[in-house]
């Protein structure tokens, strides 16, 4: 154990990461997205349908989960920037958080036999541990990205495996989890997915998560008041974080609207929404490579503007189809834009962090990723407001089944096509105001 901790303490990255290190670092995208997607997609269904907990109690617990997760992001980010150890700033957080994260994820799906109050208490406690560990691990992994990959070229190349792993994690969390709990039960699913996540996180931790030798690591940490002042006064960060909020809202609205779109506009089974999602994600994987090449030849700002434009305009295509196949073809074009967003958003944020370090003398990856994580959580609220407003205005009534008023089809098409375009346009405007126009500082 002493030998291992000594090696972790002494290893530092002095040159560009090797391909093996970049792939190992990128592998972290798979388990983190697998856990996040499985949790968000199935936890309410599990506690309400399988365990019989009252939906209002689960909804209240999920609200508490959302608030805790949002607040943790800036707090953990600021602490990560301030705390110095012989092992670095990020590595101790990640190393200490991996096992609690995986165990807490498994326990979410393995509650003991308890009455309703006991199940809600179990949910709140276990999910609180899961939230803390998830933010600690994922935020610090994100904070390592701008440090490991120092130039736009390195970041464009290094982010490719990470985002591809992330998409694969999303797909498995969406499609693989139901297959597992249907065949081996919920506890079996929890054990299998947790074991996979643990193996990949450990590989990523030892193979790709390496801090650099930076002078800031030995300097006095920035004061709390200065942290806030420099972050929210940053002329590049403010339009970026607002643009991120709008584009994440656009994506959230699309994901929420697709099941309604498939059933009530296309007249198909709700399960066929997976075909539309599949078209988007399958196209996004090669598109990540395409956008990596584009940003290396232009600049982060220019490439991001193009990707937002492609995404927003492609969304209008959902107004026209009358079949699932035609909608899936639209999804292919949407996936090109999604691939750009996945590839470029963190590349742009890394550039903001570089510029901030030049001005302040401090590298504050944790603060920026933390505040960004806090703000974009607002997309969940905006998505819920949009969905409720559109469905109510169009006269949607769940008790009517498939016999909805004619206005519902039009309202849902607006929700899946026009509303995302509006939010994408707002994001494009924010990113257009982004002041850093060079490829590297």
320-338: per-residue pLDDT in tens?
A: 999 999 999 999 999 999 9
Sequence ranges of the domains in the chain: 18-211, 226-432
Q: How much is the pLDDT for 360? A: 81
- In whole angstroms, give the CA distance from residue 195 to residue 212: 30
User: In 10 A of CB 359, how many CB atoms?
Assistant: 9
The 3-state DSSP class for residue 329 equals helix
Q: Do domains 18-211 and 226-432 have the same CATH topology?
A: yes
- In whole angstroms, give the CA distance from residue 272 to residue 261: 10
Rg of the chain, C-alpha, whole Å: 22
First vs last C-alpha separation in the chain: 41
DSSP string, 378-438: HHHHHHHHHHHHHHHHTT--GGGTT---HHHHHHHHIIIIIHHHHHHHHHHHHHHT----S
Q: How much is the pLDDT for 218? A: 40
Domain at 18-211, CATH homologous superfamily: MFS general substrate transporter like domains (1.20.1250.20)
The CATH number assigned to the domain with range 226-432 reads 1.20.1250.20
Q: How much is the pLDDT for 217? A: 42
| pLDDT tens over the chain, length 441 residues | 556 666 655 577 777 889 999 999 999 999 999 999 888 878 878 888 788 888 788 878 878 888 888 889 888 988 888 877 777 888 999 999 999 999 999 999 999 988 888 998 999 999 999 999 999 999 999 999 998 998 999 999 999 999 999 999 988 887 788 888 888 999 999 999 999 999 999 999 999 888 877 654 444 566 666 676 778 788 999 999 999 999 999 998 888 888 888 888 998 886 787 888 889 989 999 999 999 999 999 999 999 999 999 999 999 999 999 999 999 999 999 999 999 999 999 999 999 999 988 888 888 888 899 999 989 888 877 887 888 888 888 888 877 888 888 898 999 999 999 999 999 999 999 999 999 999 887
Q: How much is the pLDDT for 105? A: 96
Q: How much is the pLDDT for 225? A: 66
């Amino acid at each position: 154990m002493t030998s291992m901790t000594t090696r972790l303490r002494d290893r530092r990255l002095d040159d560009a990461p090797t391909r093996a290190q970049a792939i190992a670092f990128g592998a972290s995208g798979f388990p983190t997205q697998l856990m996040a997607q499985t949790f968000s997609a199935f936890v309410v269904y599990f506690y309400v349908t399988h365990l019989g907990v009252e939906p209002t109690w689960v909804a209240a617990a999920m609200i508490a989960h959302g608030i805790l997760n949002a607040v943790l992001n800036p707090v953990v980010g600021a602490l990560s920037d301030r705390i110095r150890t012989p092992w670095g700033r990020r590595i101790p957080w990640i190393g200490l958080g991996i096992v609690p994260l995986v165990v807490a994820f498994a326990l979410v799906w393995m509650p003991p036999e308890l009455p309703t109050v006991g199940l809600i208490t179990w949910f709140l406690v276990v999910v609180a541990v899961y939230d803390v560990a998830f933010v600690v691990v994922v935020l610090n992994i994100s904070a390592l990205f701008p440090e490991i990959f120092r130039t736009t070229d390195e970041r464009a190349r290094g982010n490719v495996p990470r985002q591809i792993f992330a998409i694969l994690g999303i797909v498995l969390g969406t499609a693989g989890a139901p297959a597992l709990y249907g065949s081996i039960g919920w506890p079996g699913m929890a054990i299998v997915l947790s074991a996979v996540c643990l193996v990949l996180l450990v590989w990523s931790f030892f193979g790709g998560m390496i801090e650099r030798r930076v002078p800031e690591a030995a300097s006095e940490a920035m004061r709390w008041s200065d942290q806030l002042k420099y972050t929210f006064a940053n002329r590049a960060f403010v339009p970026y974080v607002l643009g991120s909020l709008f584009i994440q809202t656009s994506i959230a609205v699309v994901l929420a609207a697709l099941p309604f779109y498939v059933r009530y506009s296309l007249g198909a089974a709700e399960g066929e929404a997976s075909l539309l999602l599949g078209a988007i994600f399958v196209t996004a994987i090669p598109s990540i490579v395409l956008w990596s090449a584009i940003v290396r030849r232009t600049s982060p700002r220019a490439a991001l503007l193009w990707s937002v434009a492609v995404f927003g305009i492609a969304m209008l295509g959902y107004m026209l189809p009358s079949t699932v196949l035609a909608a899936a073809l639209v999804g292919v074009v949407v996936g090109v834009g999604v691939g750009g967003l996945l590839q470029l958003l963190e590349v742009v944020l890394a550039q903001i962090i570089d510029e901030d370090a030049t001005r302040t003398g401090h590298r504050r990856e944790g603060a920026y990723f933390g505040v960004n994580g806090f703000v974009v959580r607002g997309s969940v609220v905006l998505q819920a407001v949009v969905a409720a407003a559109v469905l109510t205005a169009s006269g949607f009534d769940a008790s009517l089944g498939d016999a909805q008023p004619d206005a519902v089809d039009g309202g849902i098409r607006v929700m899946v096509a026009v509303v995302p375009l509006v939010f994408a346009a707002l994001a494009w405007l924010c990113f257009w105001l982004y002041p850093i126009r060079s490829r590297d500082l």
